[in-house]
Amino acid sequence: MKKKSMLPRRLVNSVALVASSISAFIGIFFLVWILFEILARGFSAINWAFFTELPLPPGEAGGGLANAMLGTVIITVLAMIMGVPLGILAGTYLSEFGHGRFAGVTRFLSGIFGSAPAIVIGIFVYAIIVVPMKSFSGLAGAVSLAILMLPVITRTTEEMLKLVPSGLREAALALGAPYWHMVVQVVYRGARAGMLTGIILAVARVSGETAPLLFTSLNSPYWPSGILRPMPNLTVTIFNYAMSPYDDWQMKAWGASFIIAFSVLVMNIIARFLVHRMEK
């Protein structure tokens, strides 16, 4: 390090200190502002009817978004049924067998895939499911969410399986366990908490997605009536209601935002808690 006098160094340092503290403050300020608005405006929109009743036409007071909540749950669960096992198996391959060039390419591409624009995935599912089946459907919505979930689960599964000490694997193999049995009985058990974390984070991420549902699941003001028909869901409802000119609908959109933000935060906190416990 070149010799410099102390004063300019201290000055530069103070400027940097102040600048970085200000940016931290700016970041926190906006984010607290957003959370505050969601809480303040969303909470007042929530009442019993909000959770139990169907939406009403604009202008009529009351009604709720029970159908959209149910629809969101159905779509998310369906997406999990499709995305979770596939993601875990793919992650298993990368961790247990993936040492070659193919695995490298898969890792690289699933990294890109994991951040690909959700709306493009919506177009893709529109073209392969909605068009041939001639109907927007909850199934199509679930497939698009499953595709979004897949790379996230694959990546976290791979990372978590790699954390299982190789001594455990070797011990199981030395005892005569066949390879697949070793993976299922030893590696999966050792990485259980971590895999669960990955799944929760993936579900949290897709449960707030709107763009891919706009033209796959669409929306509906009725109760879900089968997975092959348009299915109501919270995020597209927020989009439609927020853009509408009706005060009552806009308020319901805030209520729905509150519920989604709240559940996403809760899922993230649970996931973090699991990781924390696993590290101990």
Q: Which of residues 14-33 bind another protein (CB under 8 A)?
A: 15-17, 19-24, 26-28, 30-31, 33
Report residue 233 as tokens. 């869901």
Q: Report which DSSP code applies to 58.
A: T
CA 155 → CA 91, 150, 188, distances in Å? Answer: 6, 9, 15
Q: Which residues from 110-169 bind another protein, rule CB under 8 A?
A: 110-113, 115-124, 126-128, 147, 150-151, 154
Report residue 224 as tokens. 């879900």
* Beta carbon of residue 36, minimum distance to another protein (angstroms, whole number): 10
**Can you tell me the distance from the alpha carbon of 176 to that of 185, in angstroms, rounded to the nearest whole number?**
13
**Rg of the chain taking only CA atoms, in angstroms:** 24
> What is the total count of residues that contact another protein (CB under 8 A)?
102
Nearer residue to another protein within complex by CB, 150 or 195: 150
Give the position of tokens 């392969």.
Answer: 128
Q: Which residues from 233-262 bind another protein, rule CB under 8 A?
A: 235, 238-239, 242-243, 250, 253-254, 257, 260-261
In b/e form, how buried is each residue of 93-108, taking b as 16+ CB within 10 angstroms?
Answer: bbbbebeeeeeeebee
* Beta carbon of residue 137, minimum distance to another protein (angstroms, whole number): 14
CB 79 within 8 A of CB 69: no
Nearer residue to another protein within complex by CB, 78 or 256: 256
Select from 44-52, 56-64, 65-73, 86-94 the region that touches another protein (CB under 8 A): 86-94
Check residue 81 for interaction with another protein (CB under 8 A): no
